[in-house]
Structure 1
Amino acid sequence: MPLRKQPRSVARELALLSISQIKTNTNKLETEDLNNLVLAAIRTLTTEVRETLETATAEVKRGDERLLNSQTRASDLERARAMLSEALKLSQSAINRLGVAAELPEFIELTNQEQVREYALEIIATVRRNRQEIEKQIEAALVAWQLNRLAKIDRDLLVISVAEMLYLEVPVKVAIDEAVELAKRYSDEDGFRFINGVLRRVSDRHKQEQLTANE
């Protein structure tokens, strides 16, 4: 049984996983049912699982072919070992995603469902209304990266966290800490460090802009 979470933490996670799937007009979002959000989130997770397993299968096939075609050269064996190791990591990632898909409805069941629904929809609506400015803030904080080159989960995490900081009056520390925890759950090994660094630069830049505007 999952541990009880705060409604906003669950809502944030639900928004992250469903934001790309919900097609309802922004003006009608408030009528969206919680079950539709959960279904959208699970669809996102199952799609990721399928894609991850397909990649893992391809890595196993490539590693197997390299072993069969090699003449026991050390370089070939080492490369095949690396491919199989990557396939194992990807498979573990897929298993973890399946675990998350199973846990999410339980997390929601253990908390205030109406609060979860309302805040998840508020996040999604805020992102839609202010995406251009949010992405502008993120782009300015990226170092040697472009927003559209980021993994989708990292991009959505950044967008949601900046939306909370700039438009939903969530304390910067809370917004960043929550984003980092979600990155540890959904991104790759270095994802949470990257998310943390970008969000801190966004926060610092925004503070400086406010100081300049008040001078």
Structure 2
Amino acid sequence: MQDRKPRQPRQIARELALLSLSQLPVNPKNLTEDQLPELVLGTVRTLRGEIKDCLENASEELRNSNDKLLTSETRAADLNTSRTMLKEAIEYTRAAINRLAYTIDFLELGQELNKRYKEINEYAIKLVRKISSEREFLDEKISVALVDWQVNRLAQIDRDILRIAVADMEFFDIAPRIAINEAVELAKRYSGDEGHRFINGVLRKITEQQVKGF
């Protein structure tokens, strides 16, 4: 297996901000400065709970796989039944492996959070604060790039990923190429199957319009 590069603090901060945004109140302007750190801290706790749940689910899927294998060998009435049970066992094993890979990502995220918590936490809070206070501005930027669609009709996760990317570019001097790449990676982890392509397309339109002076 090829070694993966550890994620940078701002990469983790964007992920933390994305997960925190889903917990914002309906009217984010009611969010006080004192509540922001608690919001992000709550997200960290949720991530750690997710690790535990993933490990428990993977363990259960492996047990199911083992049960199916034993049953196919000792109780199957015919070859076709045995094959069906074996196929089910393989599917359980595949699901467990995928879940463990997902868990490893979260474990790495947790390790980086522990090592560089202050830096990560500060940027995540800055992102959440800016997205909360400048939501109308950010949504206007996004809406210009949407064709026959409205921002409020987007899936929340896609909308928040777009807001993070535009906030990165508009308020934190992040180069468009980096902001787009980071948004695409977030979409691959959290959005639907075609989410990352959609995110990429919208953000490229936004940057093209900025170049043209729109």
Q: So what's the TM-score if we normalise by structure 2?
A: 0.65
Amino acid at match of 2:44: V
Structure 1 residue 36: Cα displacement = 2.5
Instruction: Flag the 1:198–1:27 CA change in 2: closer, same or farther, 3 A.
Output: same
2-structure distance, mates of 1:136, 1:205: 13
Structure-2 residue corresponding to 1:15: 17
Structure 1 residue 188: Cα displacement = 1.9
Amino acid at match of 2:11: S
The answer as to whether partners of 1:176 and 1:196 remain within 8 angstroms in 2 is yes
2-structure distance, mates of 1:31, 1:185: 24
SS at 1:5 equivalent: coil
Deviation digits for residues 27-74 of structure 1, max 9, x if unmatched? 33565475323125568x79xx9xxxxxxxxxxxxxxxxxxxxxxxxx
Deviates more, 1:115-124 or 1:26-35: 26-35
Deviates more, 1:26-35 or 1:5-14: 26-35
1-structure distance, mates of 2:211, 2:141: 12
Matches within 5 A, 1:1-215: 4-22=6-24, 25-29=31-35, 31-32=37-38, 35-40=41-46, 95=99, 101-109=106-114, 111-209=115-213
Q: Which consecutive unaligned segments of at least 5 residues does structure 1 have?
A: 50-87, 211-215
The answer as to whether partners of 1:2 and 1:107 remain within 8 angstroms in 2 is no
Structure 1 residue 98: Cα displacement = 5.8
The answer as to whether partners of 1:8 and 1:119 remain within 8 angstroms in 2 is yes
Q: So what's the TM-score if we normalise by structure 1?
A: 0.65
CA RMSD of aligned residues (A): 3.3
Instruction: Flag the 1:147–1:27 CA change in 2: closer, same or farther, 3 A.
Output: same
1-structure distance, mates of 2:4, 2:113: 10
Structure 1 residue 165: Cα displacement = 0.8
2-structure distance, mates of 1:170, 1:135: 18
1-structure distance, mates of 2:37, 2:197: 36
Q: Which consecutive unaligned segments of at least 5 residues does structure 2 have?
A: 55-91
SS at 2:23 equivalent: coil
Rg larger for: 2
2-structure distance, mates of 1:98, 1:148: 32
Amino acid at match of 1:192: H
1-structure distance, mates of 2:204, 2:42: 33
Instruction: Flag the 1:98–1:18 CA change in 2: closer, same or farther, 3 A.
Output: farther
Percent sequence identity over aligned pairs: 38
Number of positions where the alignment pairs a residue of Structure 1 with one of Structure 2: 168
The answer as to whether partners of 1:138 and 1:202 remain within 8 angstroms in 2 is yes
Amino acid at match of 2:34: K
SS at 1:106 equivalent: helix
